[in-house]
Amino acid sequence: MTDTPQITDSHCHLDFPDFEGQLEAIVANAAAAGVTRMVTICTRLRLEPQVRAIAEAHAPVFYAAGTHPMSAADEPQATVDALLALARHPKFVGIGETGLDYHYTAESAAAQQQSLRTHIAAARESGLPLIVHARDADADMARILTEEHRHGAYACVMHCFSSGAALARAALDLGFYLSMSGIAAFPKSTELREIFAAAPLDRILVETDAPYLAPPPQRGRRNEPAYVAHTARVGAELFGLDYADFAARTQANFDRLFAKAARHEAAA
């Protein structure tokens, strides 16, 4: 045990080819940086067995699964029953990622919206948090999240949040969480950092979205869970905290939202 503050990478993609044959080293690098938990995300449900196997093979790794919005028109539509069946696994801790992405795939907006509502229903029924990807779809995203919340409450994290202040306010008003990725640490992300700084500290998570979006000083390289500590240091500065305090607060936030992961860890 070291004195390095513990922190969680709440969103990464360890099944991607970038990490092939390197997972032992990746998990060890994370541990050396104080990153004691990771949630690896399955973005196509047909690949769930491979993602599940990673979580089963590595004690610090949990997983979630869903249909990424950019794949909503290419993959079979998820069903609530299928997602609930996956949720029975002891290390399955979230529903998604799902969401809306109109940047490259606006033509599939209808399929994306249908898929999002299905994932919300599964999150509501399972009690697991919804993991949302949002890009260039702020108005529709706020509308659907709010409409669905009126039909029954559910928990949610806006993963890799990089949208506008209005969507941030809508999500926070619903009791949701915002997750900081390396984008928040980029020098030109002043407006995004202001959105995070205005949010309640008890609604903030940190993530890598590895292998993408490595924060400085690793920008331009393949991202990995160990680098979430760099983003968290930027978060600590935003909230006027030392790193250990900010890490502890985000740990408590993760435990509250991803309560199944916290329970599993406590029982291990």
Instruction: Name the maximum alpha-carbon separation found in the chain.
Output: 51
Per-residue model confidence (pLDDT) at position 3: 83
Q: Residue 199 carries which side chain, given as an amino acid letter?
A: A
Identify the sign of the CA torsion 248, 266, 131, 168: negative
- Give the tens place of pLDDT for each residue, 146-155: 999 999 999 9
| d(C-alpha 100, C-alpha 70), whole Å | 8
CA nearest 66: which of 30, 39, 26? 39
pTM for the model stands at 0.97
Mind giving me the DSSP string for 147-197?
A: HHHHHS---EEETT--S-HHHHHHHHHTT-EEEE-GGGGSTT-HHHHHHHH
Query: What CATH fold (topology level) applies to the domain 7-263?
Result: TIM Barrel (3.20.20)
| d(C-alpha 161, C-alpha 69), whole Å | 15
Sole residue written with tokens 């939202």? 257
What stretches in the chain show pLDDT beneath 70? 1-2
- Give the tens place of pLDDT for each residue, 163-200: 999 999 999 999 999 999 999 999 999 999 999 999 99
